Amino acid sequence: MADQLGAPNTRSAAVLLLALGEQEAATVLKHLDAKVVQKLGVEMAQLKSASREEVGAVVSGFVGVMESQADIKVGSDDYIRSVLVNALGDDKASGIIDRILLGRTSKGLDVLKWMEPRSIAETIKTEHPQVLAIILAYLDQDHAAKVLEHFPKWLQADVITRIATLDGVQPAALGKLDEMIEKQFAGNSGGIAANLGGPKIAAGILNFIDGTGEGEVIGQIRKNDEALCQKLQDLMFVFENLIDVDDRGIQEILREVDSAKLVLALKGADPQMLEKIMKNMSQRAGEMLKDDLESRGPVRLSEVEAAQKEILAVARRLADAGRIMLGAAGAEQFV
């Protein structure tokens, strides 16, 4: 159902999750993509009530169990916050929660989440860099990165710097921004403050920019603010850093990565990285991986970088769910 969430299916999934309860709903959400989690969260936040009949239809074979329960009364921000925090962890959930609760009244900004990056860039390209920073901080990080790539490198660096130093948005400023977006799209203005921006958000967006572009933006930021540049680099996690992830974490990642994508990502990788990966595979799988790498002809660097970023996205999702630890902490020994 997760990959076919049209409007009716989204409502049905939201009703089912609300019927399950916080812990069970969190367990389900842990296995879903962050964008799907956000979509379901929006639906849960907008639901006011679900009748016993609707619940029975959604759960089908469990009608008997559901009929013994009272109608579901929805609309609790605390419930939604608890479910998302349990599913994604505090850091990841906080950004999604802000967008969900803000999105209920801030339709002008909310509509941008479903637009193509190029269209968003065309819509906002003449705005002040501070406005661009707020808008991109509101979007999902991978989406924001794709929008950012349509701007000149100097502007990319300026916007990333502003996102990194952004410390929330006041209601009045957010309301004006919402009105600006609504001049071109439909929706109602909002008046709710959002905890957007910060170094983690900026670093996350940088992680999704293509390899060459990422380096150029980092270089521009370093020229203007060496300390901020270092902070962003410390927060970024690149493919080579996977070597610091412990064996159990590598095994978790491998279980969710397509073998063809792994071969492409490891093309030209450091021998130590290859050894790390093979060590956490079965002997047969390791031999097949080695054969595939040796038989694979030359590939474009852009294809390799794209494959590496997909694997990094898997790693970050697992880390946000608390299933693995990234960075040097992942290599520490626990007793």
**Is the model's pLDDT at 63 over the cut of 60?**
no
Angle formed by the axes of helices 129-138 and 117-124, to 10°? 150
Instruction: Name the residue among 257, 30, 335 with its Cα closest to residue 249.
Output: 257
Structure tokens at 79: 């419930």
The stretch 9-18 carries a mean pLDDT of: 76
CA distance 144 to 267: 28
Helix 211-224 vs helix 153-164: angle between axes, to the nearest 10 degrees?
70
Q: Tell me the per-residue pLDDT of 211-270, one tens digit each, with 9 for 90 and over.
A: 677 778 888 888 888 888 888 877 777 788 888 888 999 999 999 998 889 999 998 788
Residue 232 or residue 97, greater confidence: 232
Q: Which residues pair with 169 in a beta bridge?
A: 194
In the chain, list all ranges with CATH 1.10.220.30.
107-235, 239-331
Contacts of 324 (CB under 8 A, 6+ apart): 245, 246, 248, 249, 252, 253, 315, 318, 330
For 45-58, what is the mean pLDDT?
Answer: 67
Greater pLDDT, 293 or 104? 293
pLDDT at 314: 87
Which is higher by pLDDT, 57 or 8? 57
**What pLDDT score was predicted for residue 56?**
60
Task: Report which of residues 19 and 117 the model is more confident about.
Answer: 117
Give the number of other CB atoms < 10 A from CB of residue 175.
Answer: 18
CA 269 from centre of chain: 26
Q: What is the pLDDT of residue 269?
A: 82
Q: Which helix (H) or strand (E) holds 147?
A: helix 141-148
Of residues 83, 92, 86, 89, the one with CA closest to residue 40: 83
pLDDT of 187 higher than 50? no
Residue-wise pLDDT for 111-165, tens only, equals 677 678 888 888 888 888 888 888 888 888 888 888 999 999 999 999 999 999 8
CA terminus-to-terminus distance, the chain: 40
> Cα–Cα distance between 73 and 149 in angstroms, integer?
43
pLDDT value of residue 8: 52
**Three-class secondary structure of residue 299 per DSSP:** coil
Fold of 239-331: Annexin V; domain 1 (1.10.220)
Number of H helices, E strands in the chain: 21, 2
Q: pTM of the entire structure?
A: 0.43
Q: Which CATH number fits domain 107-235: 1.20.1090.10, 2.40.50.140, 1.10.220.30, 3.40.50.2300?
A: 1.10.220.30
Q: What ranges make up the beta strands (E) of the chain?
A: 49-50, 72-73
**What integer pLDDT is reported at residue 1 of this predicted model?**
45
Helix (H, G, I), strand (E, B) or coil at 49: strand
Residue 228 and residue 202 in contact, taking contact as beta carbons nearer than 8 Å: no
**In this structure, what are the phi and psi dihedrals at residue 50, rounded to the nearest 5 degrees?**
-135, 125
**How does strand 72-73 pair with strand 49-50?**
antiparallel
Q: Tell which residue, 82, 7, 6, 17, has the closest CA to residue 55.
A: 17
Question: In degrees to the nearest 10, what's the CA dihedral of 329, 331, 332, 335?
Answer: 120
For the chain, what percent of residues have pLDDT higher than 90?
12
Q: What span, in angstroms and rounded, lies between the C-alpha atoms of 314 and 325?
A: 12
C-alpha dist (Å) from residue 171 to 37, 77, 168, 179: 26, 19, 10, 12
SS (H, E, C) 22-45: HHHHHHHHCCCCHHHHHHHHHHHH
Comparing C-alpha atoms, which of 104, 106, 114, 113 is closest to residue 48? 104
| Paired tokens of 256 | 């969710």
